Amino acid sequence: MNYPHPIIAREGWPFLAVAVIASLAVTFIAPWYCSLPLWLASLFILQFFRDPPRNIPGDDCTVVSPADGRIVAVERTQDPYLQRDALKVSVFMNVFDVHSNRSPVDGVVEKDWYHPGKFLNATLSKASSENERKALWIKTVNGFDVVCVQVAGLIARRILCYVRSGDRLARGQRYGFIRFGSRVDVYLPPDVLVKTSIGDKVYAAESVLAELPKGRSA
């Protein structure tokens, strides 16, 4: 689901409006220093919900990061959604990262899953299987299977996903949002060419995580 791109994510408009109105109200009825905490809160909300446009690299074999953050896992594992061998790449978002989520590949959503769960620290490996999460199985234009999972974190209590089975996604297209710190896991075919490593800082839609095999379809 695309929409005219705002610089501040629409998910943050109500929060920002309330914070600014409260700040202005206190500014007019009390000494300036009384409103300072509210203005600081407004600035935090403003930076948290920023949603800058991105330049999307690569072609239909390129896998881009679905989120801003830091790589906390690059590992071979069992995909719990498609029951296959896979390479998992995980991106942890702290409260200072942009929290818009974007499609890692060009493709069609074959299936989506929602799992209620805990709110463990999203840097922990067990967060992938125990926390609240929303998963999308995306079939790429070349026939490869990619699973992208939004995982709630210790503070994040709201996963927003605007697509469902049958929807088509373009690489880098905005499809969801997670509020206040979280994680996104991407399960890829095991023979992808990995382009990132643990500790790397990545940016949604701009940073390349991997390249799908070229010259063949799945």
Q: Are residues 87 and 25 in the same domain?
A: no
Could you give the count of Cα atoms lying within 13 Å of 62 in the half-sphere of its Cβ? 14
Whether residue 57 is contained in a domain is answered as: no
Cα–Cα distance, 167 to 169 (Å, whole number): 7
Range of the domain at 138: 62-211
* Mean pLDDT, residues 54-82 taken together: 95
The whole-number pLDDT of residue 53 equals: 86
DSSP 28: H
Whether residue 54 is contained in a domain is answered as: no
Q: Are residues 87 and 40 in the same domain?
A: no
Residue-wise pLDDT tens digits, 25-50: 999 998 888 899 999 999 988 888 88
The whole-number pLDDT of residue 1 equals: 45
Catalytic member of 35, 65, 182, 207: 182
Residue-wise pLDDT tens digits, 85-111: 999 999 998 888 888 899 999 999 999
Q: Are residues 107 and 16 in the same domain?
A: no
Q: Are residues 69 and 36 in the same domain?
A: no
Q: Are residues 150 and 174 in the same domain?
A: yes
The whole-number pLDDT of residue 175 equals: 94
Cα distances (Å, whole numbers) of residue 20 to 23, 26, 31, 35, 48: 5, 10, 16, 10, 15
Locate 128 and state its tokens.
Answer: 């992938």
- Which residue's structure tokens are 């330049």? 55
* Mean pLDDT, residues 167-181 taken together: 88
- Which of residues 204 and 121 earns the better pLDDT score? 204
Assess contact for 192 and 63: CB atoms under 8 A.
yes
Q: Are residues 185 and 124 in the same domain?
A: yes
DSSP 80: T
Pairing of strands 107-115, 133-140: antiparallel
Q: Does the annotation mark 182 as catalytic?
A: yes
160: domain CATH number? 2.70.70
The pTM of this model reads 0.85
